[in-house]
Structure 1
Amino acid sequence: MGRTRRTAAQKAASARGLQIARERRLHNQLGLPSDAPTSSHPPLPNHVDRPTSSAPPPMAEHAMKPKVNRKSVPLLSASQRAQKRDELKLARELERIAALERDLQDVLRRETKLREEIKALKLKKCHREMH
């Protein structure tokens, strides 16, 4: 019993689904709200409509892109790939640290505001007891 071949539309839909999942994971890592748009792609349909006519199925997205001459694209060495990966890790870590610093500043501002309110309330209580 042979396997059925997936159509180009099914492959494209699968690729879009994987891209959306990748973007959602990135949103979660960055701590963005879950209702933030994760992708510019429209939501995936629940099923793929099969063409009823004898017209050929539409071309997949990757088929429309121009072919790239592999020889003109420089291949990175293992050390260059490792360096690039480390740079990306550092950039993500710096972004996370910056977000934590912003949160800390917000907390400190709230704390000073509450301390001032407490001082004002103590002063008010003191004035009330004196009169």
Structure 2
Amino acid sequence: MGMRITMAKKRHRVEEKKEEEYQFIPSEFDEREFILKDIYGTKVLFVITALAIIVGIVGAILYNISPSIGWAPATAIAFLMILGMKKLLILLGYRVDLLETKTLLADYFLFLMLALGVCILGINL
């Protein structure tokens, strides 16, 4: 009867390689400083929000006085405020150097959108 002949198989020796030990060492994190910076950024955001509302109201008044050309000075005022925002915040006593650049850019964008929104609401009243 047919006997099966099996061929010898090579043994693969599994050699366990020592894995490099990796130890995670977190950097020092000052939670108090982080919270204070966040609160400071929020204060600056409130000031920028108040300025945007004022600029939006002024823009709406300028437009309502003369709709044909009132939009130009309203737009110019909004963009000039963005250009001078850093200096204005310094004059108001805020330390802008404590804020990150991306935070300031987001605040400027919010200023422009909020001023535009308030201006549009003022025009439609």
**TM-score of the superposition, structure 2-length normalised?**
0.30
* Greater relative contact order structure (CA < 8 Å, 6+ sep): 2
Question: Which one has the largest radius of gyration?
Answer: 2
